[in-house]
Chain A
């Protein structure tokens, strides 16, 4: 597939994909954090301003913490700063493990270098120059900002009655048909017809299409899509299978919330 996903192999011998976050989301997350920090600083200055020099000293200590250690604290304890959480981003090591204090400190101290000469110019250029959108701090610390995908919305749909494929399908073909069947909702009607149309000659051999010659092209297209989904339903198992699929997605929704 043509994407930026990085496959991480676990010691159990399976892969999972991490999707590095692009510059736009990270800039937005940074701006959100900047806003949060600004608001906290203003609130603190009003409150600590009442305490005279003593408050002033505390204010400067807080200022230091917010300027340098705010991202470190959140990344180590939560995996992401509030701004990043808002955009579903997370900071991890190159191997997918959660970020440690050392790595987080490194990547955040090197922000200074990424900021040079103005407005994170170096960091942005660095992000655009490598395939995992790393700024200098990420390269040095060996970290990665990834997008956490929420478990996907279930393909809530009734599958047609299953039907055997007229020709044997190999595994890749089966996978394609299943994917077509389950992605029915996200594809436009003409696109569905186009995809199913490719297999028209194969689908003609299926039972129950005596009138297909007389009907309009649109109806024929509909019929092709329907038949292809019938095969998909068969490959998935049965109608019950479709329900189980929904349950899977539902349960994942429930647990992620």
Chain B
């Protein structure tokens, strides 16, 4: 069959198909029942056109139509609200347990330096100035000064919202950075985890030393259950993808990286959720010093127990071990 005749015969069909795809792309119709046979027919036309050596112009044109249809027909499953429920009930805790080893390494990298630093600074208080400059130390002291007026009463709602925005922006960025830089053969994640640990340890040690124990620890205890855990998760995810490049095993480095990345995605989703929760607690609960310390500490303990219990027991059902 000559190309001209072929075009003549199918012209109206291509037109129809293009209009249908157009409507589907703009979500004006959901007529996939009509679309699917049309798509297959178009595929057949392309096969014929290629086989008979019709002009590249025609093949290009048909390919263009085909590509638009392909985008509509072949899609990978994506997150939905129902998926989110399943994710919270099973996906997230299961993913965390599946990566227990790397998460414990990340935790060690963060809690280890923090505990060491607290101990060191309680022993040699001056060492804090070799880690933080005097201005920073002074600003932290001012922030948790038990004599300050601000600490005694609840902050007004407006500045709470401001701090919420700050915690969202700052903490989630820190978590993302801790994750992403891990692709550099785990180095970035290792660095940021340790840095966070050292920094926290230095501040905590110093404030404990000068006797600001209560305002500092009552502030930190509740939201840290979510925040610190989330940062270690992000770091663990980063270590995992970096390690895939270091030791790809029997796969190529590219394959190993892709596989590791796909596996850590649930942890990243979860990290974002946890940091949003942490920002809420930090902005609206932790800053409120009108409660007695005992209440603050117990709420903090409950938060930690909740988080640990969630990752230990949630989603055990249907878990492949």
Chain A residues in contact with chain B, CB under 8 A? Answer: 10-14, 16-17, 52-54, 56-61, 63-64, 67-68, 76, 79, 92-93, 95-98, 100-102, 105-106, 109-113, 116, 136, 139-142, 149, 151-152, 155, 171-172, 174-175, 178-179, 182, 235-238, 240-242, 244-245, 247-249, 251-252, 255-256
Asked, given contacts A109-B179, A110-B183, whether A140 binds B257 with beta carbons under 8 Å apart, the answer is yes
Which B residues between 263 and 313 are near A, CB-CB below 8 angstroms?
A: 265, 268-269
Chain B residues in contact with chain A, CB under 8 A? Answer: 2-5, 7-8, 11, 14-15, 18-19, 21-22, 40, 43-44, 46-47, 50, 52-58, 60-61, 63-67, 70-71, 74-79, 157-166, 168-169, 172-173, 176-177, 179-184, 188, 241, 254, 257-258, 261-262, 265, 268-269
| A241/B4 in contact, CB under 8 A | yes
What are 25 A-B pairs at a CB distance below 8 A? A14-B46, A16-B70, A53-B158, A56-B161, A57-B160, A61-B169, A64-B172, A95-B74, A102-B78, A106-B268, A110-B180, A111-B180, A140-B257, A140-B258, A141-B261, A151-B64, A235-B2, A236-B2, A237-B2, A241-B8, A242-B4, A244-B7, A248-B7, A252-B61, A255-B19
Asked, given contacts A53-B162, A112-B177, A116-B184, whether A10 binds B60 with beta carbons under 8 Å apart, the answer is no
| B57/A249 in contact, CB under 8 A | yes
| B53/A174 in contact, CB under 8 A | yes
A256–B68 CA distance with the chains assembled, in angstroms: 10
Shortest CB distance A253–B (Å): 10
| A113/B180 in contact, CB under 8 A | yes
Asked, given contacts A106-B261, A110-B183, A240-B8, whether A151 binds B61 with beta carbons under 8 Å apart, the answer is yes
Taking a contact as CB atoms closer than 8 A, the residue among A109, A142, A182, A247 that contacts B176 in the complex is A109
B71 to chain A: which residues have CB within 8 Å?
A: 79, 92, 96-98
Shortest CB distance A235–B (Å): 8
Shortest CB distance B88–A (Å): 16
| A57/B183 in contact, CB under 8 A | no
Residue of B nearest to A247 (CB): B11
Closest 9 CB pairs of A and B: A241-B4, A237-B4, A60-B165, A57-B165, A255-B18, A112-B180, A57-B161, A237-B2, A12-B43
| A96/B70 in contact, CB under 8 A | yes
| A54/B57 in contact, CB under 8 A | no
| B158/A52 in contact, CB under 8 A | yes
A79–B75 CA distance with the chains assembled, in angstroms: 12
A110–B19 CA distance with the chains assembled, in angstroms: 38
| B184/A113 in contact, CB under 8 A | yes
Chain B CB within 10 A, most for which of A76, A155, A236: A236
Residue of A nearest to B183 (CB): A113
